[in-house]
Each structure stands twice: as C-alpha cells, then as structure tokens.
Amino acid sequence: MISISDLFLIVFVLIDDFIKEKTTQELKPGKTICKVSDEEILTMFVVQGMLGIESDTKWLRFLRVYYQEEFPQIPERSRYQRRRLIWAEYKDELLGFLESRLPEESRNVIADSCPLKVCHNVRAGRNKKLNGIAKFGYCASKNEYFYGFKVHLLMKENGLLKDWVILPANRHDQIGLVQLLKGKDKLTVYGDKAYQCKPSLQARFKKRGVQIIAEPRKNMNKRLIPSQQVQLVSLRQRIENGISALAGFCGLEKTMGKTWHNIVARSDFKLLGFNLRICLNYEQKRPRFEMYRIAA
C-alpha cells in the first residue's frame, strides 16, 4: 500500500526530471505568471488522472483540506482547467519521456478502442455544447450503443500506451488506426477483426514498413499462421486488461468535461497517469497492470 503523500512525491520527482530535460514554454505571451510552479500543477494533473477523480471541484477541495503543506498555492478551478488545457498540448513530450524510461522490447503493437460516454443516451438531444461533435456509436464488446466518443489506443508489448486519439463514436476503428499511425514507420500492428483493412490501405501501410495483422472475419478464407495467432491472442488479452484498468481505476469511459478541448485534456492526463503506473510497476518489479492500493 502506498500513501497519497508518497505518490505525490514520486510523481513530483519524475515531473521535475521532465521539466529539466525539456524546454517547454508553458505560458503564452501576455499571460501573467502563476504562483503555482509547473512541477506542482503537472503533479496535480497526473495524480488526479491516476486516481480517476473526475470532479475538479472535489479534487481541489481535497488538496486544500489535506495537502495544504505539499501545495501551499492551490489555484482556483477555472485557472486550474486553463492550465490543464495548456499542458495537454505537450502530451507527446510527456509520452516520449515516459517511453524512454522503459526498454524497447520489439516493434509489435496492438490497436483497440473503448467508449467515452459524455451523457446518457436519452439526454443526447439536450447536450448543446457537444452537439455536432459527439455522436452515437456502438461498442461490440459490451453490445450497447452510447453517445460520445471513441478512444483509439495503440499499446506496446510492455503495456505502455504508444499513442491515442479521440474521435466521434461513429467513426470506424480503421479511421482511428490511420490517425494513430501518422508519422510512425516499421511497426507490426495486431488487432481484432475491425482492423481487417482493404488491400489499398494495406498497400499504403506497407510502403512505410507497417504490417497489419488482424483477426480474420468468419466469411473470409484467410487464416493466420500459428505464430501470428498466438501473438495476437497474447496482445489482445494485454490491451483488454489495460482497458479494464483504465475504465475501472482511471475512469476513462466517463467524463464530466462539457467542451471538446476539456474532454480531450482530461482524458490525456488519465492516459498519461496510466502510463506512469506502468513505469512505476516496471521499476519496482510489480505486475504490469497492478494498480496501487492508496491510503489517505
């Protein structure tokens, strides 16, 4: 069991290393300098994502009551949310920093997606701020329709998320795959039957050294060779365990965000918090997807 104070300390040290390595410009021209340091505010974002606390109001109140010594200057909710939007732009830098802490195992990755619901289906017509952005979609694994978005994930063999993208729920998984593979070469991507690409798309990927190995549909004569089938089953189980951990501990499949940018920023820090858990488990020789038991 780990205390929240210890978790704050561990995350703060990692964030401090990141700030020293990267030369990011946090404040845009014309903005006033905040009393809360970059290391402190990033620690708040990441730990909130790791713990799956969705309400910013409750999270900031919790910090003021119990952790005023660790964070003497806690921002108001509106400033907290604005700074989260700014730091979400540096997702790729944070992701690369966490990737560098784990050894590179292979070029194999697994693709999958999970729902991100913004409200109950019957309330979709009353959702004005996301009208035209959020859509109805279908989750085959849960056999249900939902209103919101899909989080498309690309996971490495070591359990670390290599990238992710959030798209409207009615977009096909292959559209998410194209977005995920932008700028990436020489990969072997495994996936379920939704990733059975057309020959034209396969040819486009092949030019960049990307091979797609997807589970064949029932009406196809094509079959995978035994080694590919074993690898596919292993990786699919890995990403499904990861999605279960993201949904159960980080609350990825639900959001209290009311705007598109807010939803993306909240989800980014949940997924970065998940990656940080994977890194800490690796360094402490714990099971890959084991989630810490937190003591207040």
Confidence of residue 295 (pLDDT cuts 50, 70, 90): low
Tens digit of each residue's pLDDT (9 = 90 or more) over 139-191? 988 899 999 999 999 999 989 999 999 999 999 999 999 999 998 999 999 99
What mean pLDDT do residues 70-94 have?
Answer: 91
Length of the chain: 296
Tokens of 195: 């990733």
Confidence of residue 26 (pLDDT cuts 50, 70, 90): very low
What mean pLDDT do residues 8-13 have?
Answer: 93
Please answer whether residues 148 and 253 qualify as being in contact, where contact means their C-beta atoms are separated by less than 8 angstroms.
no
Quote helix, strand, coil % in the chain, to nearest 5: 45, 20, 35
What mean pLDDT do residues 75-93 have?
Answer: 92
Question: Domains in the chain and their CATH numbers?
Answer: 2-99+291-295 (no CATH), 108-254 (3.30.420)
pTM of structure: 0.91
CA–CA distance, 289 with 58 (Å, rounded to integer): 27
- What residue ranges in the chain does DSSP mark as E strands? 2-3, 108-119, 135-139, 144-156, 161-168, 188-191, 211-214, 294-295
How confident is the model at residue 292, as a pLDDT?
57
Bridge partner residues of 164 (DSSP): 153
Name every residue whose Cβ is closer than 8 Å to that of residue 200 and which is 6 or more positions away in sequence. Answer: none
How confident is the model at residue 280, as a pLDDT?
87
Q: Distance of alpha carbon 295 from its chain centroid, rounded?
A: 24
Tens digit of each residue's pLDDT (9 = 90 or more) over 96-111? 999 888 887 788 999 9
What mean pLDDT do residues 66-75 have?
Answer: 91
Q: What is the torsional sign of CA 284, 188, 207, 170?
A: negative
Tens digit of each residue's pLDDT (9 = 90 or more) over 206-236? 999 999 999 998 888 888 989 999 999 999 9
